[in-house]
A and B are shown apart, each in its own frame.
Chain A
Amino acid sequence: MTDKIDHISRQQFMEELRRYQKGSVTRRHFLGVTGLGAATVVLGAAMPGLIPRAAHAQTIGDRVVLATWPNYHDVANFDAFTAESGAAIQVNVFGSNEEMLAKLQAGGSGWDVFVPTNYTISTYVEQDLIEPLDLVLLPNYDTAAFDQRFAGPGTVDGKIYAVPKNWGTTGFAVNTNHTGGTTPSTWKEFFDLTQTTFSGRTMVHDYQLTTIGAALKAFGYSFNSIDPAELAMAEELLLATKPHLFAISSDYQPSMRSGDAWMTICWTGDGKQLNRDMPEIVYVLGKEGGELWSDFYAIPKGAPHRDAAYALINFLLKPEVNAKEALFHGYPVADARLNALLPPEVLNDPILYPAADLLNALEFGAAATLTDPNRAELMARFKSA
């Protein structure tokens, strides 16, 4: 979306056309400069038959590589995309934002589209690892329809680098069969319970952001704190809790389902899936607060199949497709257009859409939390203790 030219003279148009014919500029540059791209989009929206589907399939190539999270997409949507565009989707699954950042920093990831979380985007921009998005190529992204609370972190220095996929919260899941009638409602209770009646039954994430964040919240500190004194308190709590933990792992669904674990730090979608299959497992947002997050689609610098990357993001943002995605992964999507497409029981689900007072206590993760070396070392000390 840089220096886009609104008007172009006939002579300039012919020059651009010749450059395009000679192959010295790309189709994208030609469409962008001449305004034909935007015209096609406008016309296409009005008359879908005008979208040059066959020609499109030829230009985007036969493959697109997507780096994303586990259980995060409806495979039927992928098949539909491949049938429509001719590009097969190759999926790389990741366990943490740090891991994604490490892969991109090392270079040569081969990714076309990836799914970063809000607090990482400014770091990617600083490190020059992602490119600003050309919204002309994403006609299904309707800025006005998206809640700015969740779309905002995709914009850095006034440029849109990422468009929102879905959002969620980080709370904890607890099996109420073992709580004796009183469901814990705070992070303090989470740790107290772990050290007493839930000893050997609690899991925390293998993830510094959420595990240290939860310990910080138990004292009422910010989820994002990098204050040495506050981190020292959190470390003390985590080390005292460690002998009572069942496991330190972000793969907590199997253990919660088998009954080996009774309580775990948990993300919205996992909480929803556990609660749907085993109603005795409830999802709780700590009263002190916790994490609110938003995942995005972005395109790394030097993506090998850039056209296909835009086509895929655009496809997944189509409200009908996105609604199917939402029903599959169980996370809320900040696109108002989806509200008409999702069943009311989803839209009224308190796990997906928490009450305002609980939601307002939550914090977005901060960029400094991701890169702070002290938090990383604290986590390593906790794990090796």
Chain B
Amino acid sequence: MQRRLSTWLLLAPAGLWFAVMLVLPLCFVVVFSFGERAAAGGYVPAFTFAQYANLPARAAAFKNTLMLAPLGTILSLLIAYPLAYFLAMQADPKWRTLLLILVIVPFWTSILIRSYAWIFILGGQGLPAVIDWLGFGQVRLINTPFAVLTGIVYGYLPLMVLPVYVSLERLDKRLLEASADLGAPPLRSFLQVTLPLSLPGVATGCMLVFILLMGEFLIPAMLGGGKVFFIGNALVDLFLQSRNWAFGAAVAVTLVVIMLVTVSLYMWLMRRMGGVRDDVALM
């Protein structure tokens, strides 16, 4: 009995937090999504599927997000994996802590300010001026999907590096020695030992980055010049500009459903590939 009480007490803060900050607001969003927009904006209670029927009006936003979020995740992984591998396997332990701190340092500055810096780096007097000077002609970088992708990979890279690093660092190095002793060349050792054992970290990193990217709105607004429209941007506009809370709620619910389906599918796939243990699949 004593033990059960202490369990409940320990769970209470987190449980309360989830109930008040997650479940309750989510219920509001679902209820709102069946309502209507008040004449001057806002919400009036109703029961209608009109908001869901109107979803195709935001098809472009869903398309952009569903293309650029996975692409950004894959690019982040391709850049983060070698970096994490170097940090965990090759870097001098003397320097490792310092190098890890350097990976995290960008987080000390607001993403808003760092995105502003990218506006100047990708703007006409930044990188394009260098490219032109080198004789490769004039290119436009800022306010393109490329700029948004650059900002995304830059902004989310540390979130990918850290979980992959942790899984590589924890890897039992004796397995690699055994693999080498049994005659496997380095590449084969990597593909058959290191890579499968680091998959939990890869899965965690991909999920972290992908989930956050699906709700991203700042980077597309700043580096896409308002021309690369994500679901996040559509939501900001619906709640703060046109104040169509009912339609905004319907878009938000749809986003949540898409995420649930994608994430479940992804975890099912990872499990089938056999690399992921339940307890480390997410964090």
Contact = CB atoms under 8 A, between A and B. Distances in A.
Nearest to B142: A260
Contacts of A42: none
A206 to B, nearest CB: 5
A383 B233 CA distance: 10
Contacts of A127: 40
Interface residues of A, number: 34
Interface in B211-242: 221, 225-227, 229, 233-234, 237-242
A242 B123 CA distance: 19
A249 interface: yes
A381 B244 CA distance: 14
A99 B241 CA distance: 6
Nearest to A124: B40
Given A98-B241, A208-B241, A371 B39 contact: yes
A254 B58 CA distance: 30
A247 B143 contact: yes
Interface string B53-74: 0000110110010000000000
A196 interface: no
A248 B226 contact: yes
B120 to A, nearest CB: 7
Interface of B: 37, 39-42, 57-58, 60-61, 64, 119-120, 123-125, 140, 142-143, 221, 225-227, 229, 233-234, 237-244
A384 interface: yes
- Most-contacted residue by chain A among B61, B64, B124, B140 (CB, 10 A): B124
Contacts of B57: 377, 380-381
B60 A385 contact: yes
Contacts of A242: 227
Interface of A: 96, 98-99, 101-102, 105, 123, 126-127, 200, 203, 206, 208, 242, 245-249, 254-255, 258-260, 371, 373, 376-377, 379-381, 383-385
Contacts of A371: 39-41
Contacts of A208: 241-242
Nearest to B224: A247
Contacts of B243: 98, 101-102, 105, 376
A206 B236 CA distance: 12
Given A248-B225, A248-B226, A373-B37, 6 more contacts: A96-B240, A105-B41, A127-B40, A208-B242, A373-B244, A380-B234
29 contacts: A96-B241, A99-B240, A99-B241, A101-B243, A105-B243, A200-B140, A208-B241, A208-B242, A247-B226, A248-B225, A249-B221, A254-B119, A254-B120, A255-B123, A260-B124, A371-B40, A373-B37, A373-B242, A373-B244, A376-B237, A376-B244, A377-B57, A379-B242, A383-B226, A383-B227, A383-B229, A383-B237, A384-B64, A384-B234
